[in-house]
Structure 1
């Protein structure tokens, strides 16, 4: 019997597999999709994450940072927010006495680096999908679609927003879909990217720039569903013309390489565990991607759960002890809810066309730029330093 079976070998699930197996646990990892094998010079993927300092430290402790190609990592030192022609609000690494605020990385690179660091003791089932789950007093049994049975003391559901494991154990969700969608656009620029990411707030939704290595960058366009669907049907040349019209001139000259869009949703599991099953990452919560905090929250879940499980394992205690799992839920639910609510408030304030609200947010940006200690605290929070 395994100590832990992790369902979902994405970034969060794979990080837990590395951490728990290195602590001596018998771990199995079930991943539905085969990992793509990409050449070193593959085009940059659309799925990019802004990895904050806490997540960076977590990945570094697992050996993943050293395994990621440096040519595919872009540090950023400045986070800029602005609206129209108003003076920008800049959060800088120098203000926090840090060398950088975080890194822009492709999700696939992070996932592959974590899989490369899996100890040989980890049993891998990939590609494989779970057909059913049965809970007993002292263990859980998963049945895969090919008929294999996996008995284990604990199941960690890291299988994403549409988690089958969460559904199997009957954990409901609270959430909604936002009125807007988000378009991701990879571009090749005429110049090397600067180590700065920015967000411009407009009456139609935010526009964002994410620097990538070399002459690469990712643009993010938030707008109404119909508008984003219309943009998705344009040719690269037509989409470029729209970007030049609706993004700041700072983008400069560029060529569009690829684009895709997705709806914006928020969801939060009503519970984080049931019996011998515990949720992490998107299986437990999804968040408005406005500040790029989604995977950082997932890594924070993984870090907290790993600390508790390793302590239980070293003391030869039950890995599914309800009191321990309740501690995990209390701590992570509070942190995740706080970030989710903050992003919702931010989204509503900066998406409102009402004149009084526009005046208020302009004043707020100006005030924030002068509020030294408070500004530093917000910067540290965004960077995962508090």
Structure 2
């Protein structure tokens, strides 16, 4: 991997972690990011709405990259328990101690993690951080790009880590398959009267699940999935929104105060290929957009990065990229199908589907099945 020239478009959590991991293994890395993270004043007591649930395996990998001393600890919260409840009331839960771990994963503020990665990147000499610059033109034949400010750069590998509307994918002509779920995800950060356990949970119902992410003992992120028009209507009525959230969540967590809220549309997108021209590679949301109900989005992105770094260490770039595409496209497709099956089956009003869901939870409670599911939850 040494002397390999890697150009990365997109310096979010996936792109910045790819830059850091590749640079630490000897690659010459150039990272383009139009909106790099600024300094954190550390004075805001409330979490941002952009939060990720990072599984234990990926978090340990991030710590190995050296971000532990850089990340703002007030924006990281360990969770030890995960539970899901079907609309018929059947429950399945997982605890960290069942896997011999201190935690299943962490809740982390996206901004805090991105800043920690960039802080580490800024300490490395052989990383060229092109802050405020964007990709303008691509010539795959000559392996060159033209940036927004006119500079021309060459590369051995071009990584598209630039999200669901990837400029790399557009310029290189990648194609996608997918659909709109016709749903929105409503997020609301709240301050709680009573402390909560370090547990993330999700409850399914016909119109879509609702869930809680613990942020501290006294703060949480409430999540509700619903039809697009219903969520849009709620957001236009602040009092109605707060009343709806209290009706849904107060039986679980008691009284709370809404701090901030937002929503986003849900889409499923999967690239037909992850690699083009033998040198252009998609990772993270640029390659796949998944239903967020199980918090797998960024975890799949980190898994993409880890796989790419591993295969590049052991193979020539052409062989490595072939292995990366076959491995990650298959794994991501499997996870996407699983999320769709869960979302359809657990929401269904069909008595047959409800019976199948109840039966699946009973099977999942078998010790050997539960151990396998627990490994999936922690990313092993």
2:148 paired with 1:145: yes
Match of 2:266 among 264, 267, 292: 264
Distance 1:285 1:364 in 2: 27
Is the 1:188–1:255 Cα contact (8 Å) retained in structure 2? yes
TM-score, normalising length: structure 1: 0.93
Deviates more, 1:271-280 or 1:238-247: 238-247
- 2:234 maps to 231
Q: Which runs of 4+ in 1 moved over 3 A?
A: none
Match of 1:333 among 324, 329, 336: 329
Structure 2 stretches lacking a partner, 5+ long: none
- 2:303 maps to 300
- 1:378 maps to 373
Match of 1:116 among 115, 119, 123: 119
* Aligned 1:99-110 pairs, distance under 5 A: 99-110=102-113
Distance 1:87 1:170 in 2: 46
Distance 2:280 2:87 in 1: 48
Match of 1:49 among 49, 52, 56: 52
- 1:356 maps to 352
Distance 2:194 2:177 in 1: 44
Deviates more, 1:158-167 or 1:1-10: 1-10
TM-score, normalising length: structure 2: 0.94
- 2:9 maps to 7
Query: Alpha carbon RMSD of aligned pairs, Å?
Result: 1.7
Q: Shift of residue 36 of structure 1?
A: 3.7
Distance 1:98 1:31 in 2: 36
- Seen in structure 2, the aligned counterparts of structure 1 residues 5 and 203 have a Cα distance that, compared at 3 Å, is same
Give the match's secondary structure for 1:346.
Answer: helix
Is the 1:193–1:212 Cα contact (8 Å) retained in structure 2? no
Distance 1:140 1:149 in 2: 10
- 1:16 maps to 18
Structure 1 stretches lacking a partner, 5+ long: none
Q: Shift of residue 177 of structure 1?
A: 0.8
Distance 1:87 1:335 in 2: 28
- Seen in structure 2, the aligned counterparts of structure 1 residues 311 and 356 have a Cα distance that, compared at 3 Å, is closer
Give the match's secondary structure for 2:156.
Answer: strand
* Aligned 1:195-210 pairs, distance under 5 A: 195-210=198-213
Give the match's secondary structure for 2:356.
Answer: helix
Distance 1:48 1:285 in 2: 19
